[in-house]
Structure 1
Amino acid sequence: MTSSISPSSDNLDGGADPAKLEAANRYIRWNLLFLLAIFVFLVFPIWMPFVPGVNQVTNLVIIIIIGLFQLIWLIATICAIRRTVVINRRTKLRAVKAQDVESSDAEASASSTVRHVVAMTIYKEPMSVLQATLDSLVQQKDAASRISVIIGMESGTPEKEAKHDEVYARYKGKFLRLIVTFHPSGVPGEIPGKCSNMNYACRRGLEILRQDSDYGYEKYEHIFTNCDCDAVFDPEYMLELETEYCKLDDDDRHSSIWQSIIIYKRPSMPFFVDITGVLRTFFFMGVLIPWNINPMSHYSLSVKLLEEGAFTHPAYQMEDIIALIRYTIVTRREIRIRPLNLTSINGPTSGANFADEIREWALQVRRWTIGAGEVFHYFIVKTYRMPSACLSITWATRFFAYYGLVLCASPLFSIISPIFVQLASSLVAPAHDRLLVSDAVFQAMCFIFLGTQYVFFLIATILVRWNLPVPGDGGNSYNKGLRGVMRGLMHWVLMLPTILAYSLVELYSFFELAFRGKNVCKHNAASKNNLVLVKENESS
């Protein structure tokens, strides 16, 4: 059975007060505090060499700060190695011991009262991208009898009726229910983008399922998966998700978000897109999940938690970055991110030519950064509703450490500050004694830290390129062979300049958010026109 909602359907409650949102201050926002903290880190080497007394400890302070950044990388690396080992252990058991998989199958199948709802949104993306996602869902166990799919289109989606008809023509009967909604434009208090579209699609789609007498909604427990339209799921994603879900008691089930490890991949990528994808996968395993910061791209949770958390906020642009903290605040209980020990694929940015690739890459970094700044503002405004002050402080610290320091301040500080301090000390600042760390020791320590940073980069490269299984790729053909090894090593060398460029775009974006305020918080969809996701059984 299939269902669709026409653009003329009555609008649903967006879950936000439009008048309150419109009245909110558009410029004096808490992301200014986020920027101030980053700025404090970056200006240390500028003023310290010129202040009498303080200049004696300049070398020591710089070394301590860079050392702390390296400690964060060390912790992230250990976490990423552990997650890679667990994923490969599961993959090996699945391949070598079929009985273990059959046992897992039986455990999940025994819970016949569980059904899945998968929602995605689409705007200007080509149908080939959406088809890759839907095809990977068709491969899931019992898709036709246990998985319902909701596709949210915007009212302004180009050729939306043709896309609507094509979806039904290709996938009719392949899912338990197939629902297409059309999100109306110009709703007060909303901003265009995935958040508002997903919010509408979820509310409308679940309403349709509840009203469907043949479906019998109340008889089942539902797990919801939020995904991008360019996601490719492991064939056992739903099986693994349901197995992990059923291991928990009722309270934990509805206080958890499940996240697979996402690999960003397409057949051909410029080095900066490829490197960014490798680092993002590394940070999935090393930071976002173990530090319980936020899910990303596609993730799963119970429908009960989705509804208690008021779905997605239609006035924010990054529904994944805001998800964990929003559900924690609205439900007033701690929400945990739990790993799924398998990988999924998301399409990275794409462009028609090299210049366009740079533009799309920078725009995506800008979107992530502005989204993180807006989430921090949302958190501060709502922090009084957090379950405890301790949780507020620890989450804010982890969030700032990742988005403020690891992604923005630390690369700039670690490279630029030693150069500036040495120039200032030798050319401008008066001679003075150094406390504990002489100039010679300072230079040696900086080179050691540069070396350890490249060791971390190398480990990240090895883990992501050559140790993670890739769905439908028969073993990650993109990185195989002599060409794949040489490409990987060359991109390893280029990691530092890439992450420096990433940090500069982030810093610019934080300043743009500070000066332009809420006006800059719009979700301009990334181009997918040149994106071709990995095809199943791709030759290696």
Structure 2
Amino acid sequence: MRAAYMLGFLIPFNINTMSIFSFSLDLCIKGEFFHAHYQMDDIIYTLTCMQALQKRVEILMIPMPVISGPTSGTSQWEEFSEWFRQSERWTIGACEVFHYFVVKRRRYNCSAALSYGTWFVIYYGFILCSLTLTGLAGFINYALINAKHDTIDRMGQMTGQLPLDDAANTGVMIAGFSSLAWTYLVFLIFFYLDREGCKLIYHLKMKPQGAEDTGFCQNLKDWILMWPSLVMYSMVSYWAILKVAVYGKKVCGHDPSSKEGLKAGQGMTSEESAEVSTAIDSADISEAGRA
């Protein structure tokens, strides 16, 4: 999903370079380098470049495959715990970036700031936080329409607005389920792109043949759970926003997620496991140092 959102939103609308990116040294100097005390240094750097150029920064995709280890755990509960921590951290980071953007708003070109701020709010505020919950609320609303029929009639009499008839309600429900079906079709396209990406990784010998393959049942389960996962992500996002609203800067920081499950699921020897642990720890220290 992260890669799909990068292709569909972050890169086309020049919102965020997302972790792995190349940049001009001259532009880096003009933007006065990075703000090391912000955890989301990638998107903060995009904003500092906007200040230096006084216009939107165009983000271009580099056609280069990258293997990025996902959050993982050695048990199902640990897996969920790490996913929750990562989702919460991303949302808190987005809130911190938005605060930075608003505070520094006078340093940007007016049209560039308005354009960037609009797309930032649409992506992080609506698409990530609200879109799936809005759909879920709609399904719940129409599922309970018979239970609240008397209330709807009473409100209609008070406001003078007639409720929808059965045919109209059926049409709305069909539209809703069609939207859900279309969403799952898009998810299916993501799986196709992932499979094609694996072929490229094998072709470039970045991983042994079959190392990234998953079975049909696993793919089917993941495909079915994609929409519920996005709903849960939205709930975590709202929880994270509430934490920022209450605690402010205290909750902002980089807490690297665990990668322990990656080595556990690959049948490594103790020596190999130790090497991976060292590499992961070093990466986490480096990542935390940038924050």
How far 1:280 sits from its partner (Å)?
0.6
Q: CA deviation at 1:424?
A: 5.6
The equivalent residue for 1:478 is 212
Q: Which amino acid aligns with 1:466?
A: E
Q: Which amino acid aligns with 1:318?
A: M
Aligned to 1:503, the other structure's residue is in SS state helix
Match of 1:310 among 3, 23, 32: 32
Aligned pair partner of 1:513 in 241, 244, 248: 244
Residues in 1 aligned to 2:56 and 2:151: alpha-carbon distance in whole angstroms: 50
C-alpha contact 1:365 1:505 (8 A) present in aligned 2: yes
Change (3 A) 1:519 1:424: farther
The amino acid that maps onto 2:120 is F
Matched, 1:398 2:129: no
In the TM superposition, what is the alpha-carbon distance from 1:520 to its structure 2 partner? Answer: 0.9
CA distance in 2, matches of 1:484, 1:402: 32
Residue aligning to 1:457 = 187
Work out the percentage of aligned pairs sharing the same amino acid. Answer: 34
Instruction: State the distance in 1 between where 2:254 and 2:145 align.
Output: 42
Q: Using the alignment, how far apart are the partners of 1:524 and 1:467 within structure 2?
A: 29
Equivalent pair of 2:71/2:82 in contact (CA under 8 Å): yes
2:48 aligns with 326
Answer yes or no: is the 8 Å Cα contact 2:71–2:259 preserved in 1.
Answer: yes
Structure with bigger helix share is 2
Q: Deviations over 1:289-326 (max 9, x none)?
A: 11111111211111122222122212311112322122
Distance 1:435 1:381, change over 3 A: farther
Counterpart CA distance in 2 for 1:474 and 1:287 is 31
Q: 1:228 matched to which residue of 2?
A: none
Letter in structure 2 aligned against 1:364: Q
Q: Given the alignment of the two structures, is residue 363 of structure 1 paired with residue 94 of structure 2, yes or no?
A: no
TM-score normalised by the chain length of structure 1: 0.44
- CA distance in structure 1 between the partners assigned to 2:51 and 2:146 by the alignment: 48
Q: Secondary structure at the match of 2:64?
A: strand
Structure-2 residue corresponding to 1:139 = none
Which residue, 439, 442, 459 being the options, matches 2:172?
442
Give the structure 2 partner of residue 18 of structure 1. none
Q: Residue 294 of structure 1 contacts residue 323 of structure 1 at CA under 8 Å; is this kept in 2?
A: no
In the TM superposition, 1:154-303 aligns within 5 A as 279-303=1-25
Q: Which has the higher contact order (CA 8 A, sep 6+)?
A: 2
Using the TM superposition, give the Cα deviation of residue 331 of structure 1 relative to its aligned residue in structure 2, in angstroms.
4.4
- 2:56–2:116: 8 Å Cα contact kept in structure 1? no
Cross-structure match for 2:65 = 343
CA distance in 1, matches of 2:195, 2:220: 10
CA shift for structure 1 position 467: 4.5
SS of the residue corresponding to residue 430 of structure 1 reads: helix
Superposed CA RMSD: 2.4
Unaligned stretches of 5+ in structure 1? 1-278, 535-540
> Do the aligned partners of 2:142 and 2:173 also contact (CA within 8 Å) in 1?
no
In the alignment, is the contact (CA less than 8 A) between 2:73 and 2:258 conserved in 1? Answer: yes
Name whichever structure is richer in strand by fraction: 1
Cα deviation, 1:397-437, whole Å, max 9, x if unaligned, reads: 21112111111100111112231255267416232424698
Select the structure of larger CA radius of gyration. Answer: 1
Q: 1:301 to 1:378 in 2, by over 3 A?
A: same
Given the alignment of the two structures, is residue 407 of structure 1 paired with residue 128 of structure 2, yes or no?
A: yes
Matched residues in 2 for 1:361 and 1:422: separation?
30
Q: Is the 8 A contact 1:328 1:386 kept in 2?
A: yes
| Alignment of structure 1 residues 377-388 onto 2, 5 Å | 377-387=99-109
How many corresponding residue pairs? 252
Further displaced range: 461-470 or 313-322:
461-470
2:19 counterpart SS class? coil
Does the residue aligned with 1:494 lie in a helix, a strand or coil? helix
Task: Give the stretch that moved more between structures: 281-290 or 465-474.
Answer: 465-474
- Candidates 222, 232, 237, aligned match of 1:501: 232
- What is the alpha-carbon distance in structure 2 between the residues aligned to residue 382 and residue 360 of structure 1? 33
